[in-house]
Amino acid sequence: MNNDNFKIEKAKARKLRQSQWWKQKLESGVCHYCGGSFSADALTMDHIVPISRGGKSTRANLVPACKKCNSNKKYYTPAEIILREKLDQDIFF
């Protein structure tokens, strides 16, 4: 993804972060990945398919995640996360 597209997707994410839709997601207090309960300020916005991997800043691709899960996910796609867990090691492409 080129730098201009990256900037556009980041700007879309910032705009969605201010929306009522996102505020309701945060108020639920649930991490998309671990299912844990957190305060709204302990959740971050995560792209399921990362922007760096071609993901878009759309409602279908944005989820609340606790900081630990978001850090562990890094730039992986959901399929790569499953593969990483099955192999019990980092994977590289």
Whichever domain contains 19, its CATH number is 1.10.30.50
CB 52 within 8 A of CB 80: no
Let me know if residue 11 belongs to a domain: yes
How far apart are the C-alpha atoms of 87 and 11, rounded to whole Å? 36
Let me know if residue 92 belongs to a domain: no
Strands (E), 18-85: 43-47, 62-66
Q: Phi and psi dihedrals of 62, rounded to 5?
A: -115, 130
Let me know if residue 13 belongs to a domain: yes
Let me know if residue 47 belongs to a domain: yes
How far apart are the C-alpha atoms of 33 and 79, rounded to whole Å? 13
Residue 41: predicted pLDDT: 95
Q: Which domain holds residue 57?
A: 3-87
Residue 81: predicted pLDDT: 86
CB 21 within 8 A of CB 65: no
Let me know if residue 61 belongs to a domain: yes
The model carries a pTM of 0.86
| Structural domain total, the chain | 1
Per-residue pLDDT tens, the chain, 93 aa: give them. 688 999 999 999 999 999 999 999 999 999 999 999 999 999 999 999 999 999 999 999 999 999 999 998 989 998 898 888 888 877 776
Residue 1: predicted pLDDT: 64
Let me know if residue 49 belongs to a domain: yes
